[in-house]
Homo-oligomer: A and B are copies of this chain.
């Protein structure tokens, strides 16, 4: 018993954390922050109940190119549901999807995406929805890597979340993606339970089906947890300002700002996708190709530099990208 107990203590301070990270400023600053946060004699000590770390998902914890995984799920659902909706043949944005017009699909606006989500994610119970998502995730594969989407998670981020949890940080996902969608796999692949997933949601209503209570998903947006929605969502779900916030795109700027605005030292991190060989490269910052999916603008880069946020170069900082 005492052996296990001692092992517990040893792993809590982890002698070799973040093995998939190259030695460099990013890794060094992260470890320095955590060591100070758990050191009661440090001015930067953070009491355990305030050790909150929030992670964006798409592009921060797993691959988001060429298109958000949930977006691909939604496109697949449109095709499956099309026979019940003959009007979609002539109605945008469904027409474009059914015609498989990849170029136009990649140009969908936020508003069109929301419309597709509402049409494909609603009209069923949460229970039925969870089953549909789980089934899809066991078969759908990424077009380039030919792997399940749930395999395309970043090994260095798994290590970072694990390292933080060992040091009593509570790790949260704070995603623009659908909360119920992400919850179907977050515990299995990231070790993050449903109650620590904050995301966008549609209106859900309590109803009865054959006398049994069910939660029915309605085709109406309830909350968009992106950009300024992220700090709002963090306050709504956690009620505390994070110690650490990690993102990768313009949609994460407000979350990082809000984190930094808390008292004392905080850690703000942005993943920069600059590795076209092992993953993808997109900006437009640093003259990388522009994108609508996980855009990292010049303004975000300027802001990050000015505010001393950590920029992770996937190419330089990560020894390995995926667990496989």
Question: Which positions in A face B, CB cutoff 8 Å?
Answer: 1-2, 5, 49, 126, 170, 179-180, 183, 187, 193-195, 197, 201, 204-206, 212-213, 215, 228-229, 231-232, 235-240, 254, 257-258, 261
B215:A231 contact, CB within 8 angstroms: yes
B195, B197, B231, B237: which contacts A213 (Cβ < 8 A)?
A: B231
A206 to B254, CA, bound (A): 8
Complex: chain B residue closest to A187, CB-CB: B49
B194:A206 contact, CB within 8 angstroms: no
Q: Within the complex, what minimum Cβ distance (angstroms) separates A5 from chain B?
A: 6
B257:A228 contact, CB within 8 angstroms: no
A135 to B126, CA, bound (A): 41
A257 to B213, CA, bound (A): 7
Chain B residues, CB < 8 A from A232: 204-206, 215
A-B contact pairs, 25 of them (CB 8 A): A1-B2, A1-B5, A2-B2, A2-B5, A49-B193, A126-B235, A170-B195, A180-B239, A194-B238, A194-B239, A194-B240, A195-B237, A195-B238, A195-B239, A195-B240, A197-B239, A204-B235, A204-B236, A206-B228, A206-B229, A206-B231, A206-B232, A206-B258, A212-B261, A213-B231
Q: Within the complex, what minimum Cβ distance (angstroms) separates A209 from chain B?
A: 11
A309 to B312, CA, bound (A): 54
A73 to B13, CA, bound (A): 46
Chain B residues, CB < 8 A from A213: 231, 254, 257-258, 261
Chain B residues, CB < 8 A from A197: 239
A247 to B238, CA, bound (A): 23
User: Told that A206-B254, A206-B258, A213-B257 touch, could you supply 13 new A-B pairs with CB distance under 8 A?
Assistant: A1-B2, A1-B5, A2-B2, A2-B5, A5-B5, A49-B187, A49-B193, A194-B238, A194-B240, A206-B228, A213-B258, A215-B231, A237-B237
Complex: chain B residue closest to A195, CB-CB: B238
A28 to B204, CA, bound (A): 36
Q: Within the complex, what minimum Cβ distance (angstroms) separates A216 from chain B?
A: 10
B180, B228, B258: which contacts A205 (Cβ < 8 A)?
A: B228
Q: Within the complex, what minimum Cβ distance (angstroms) separates A202 from chain B?
A: 11
The 8 closest A-B pairs by CB, nearest first: A194-B239, A206-B228, A195-B238, A206-B231, A213-B261, A213-B258, A183-B239, A213-B257
A204 to B238, CA, bound (A): 14
Q: Within the complex, what minimum Cβ distance (angstroms) separates A208 from chain B?
A: 9
A59 to B179, CA, bound (A): 32
A4 to B194, CA, bound (A): 32
Interface-centre pick from A170, A201, A235, A258 (highest chain B CB count, 10 A): A235
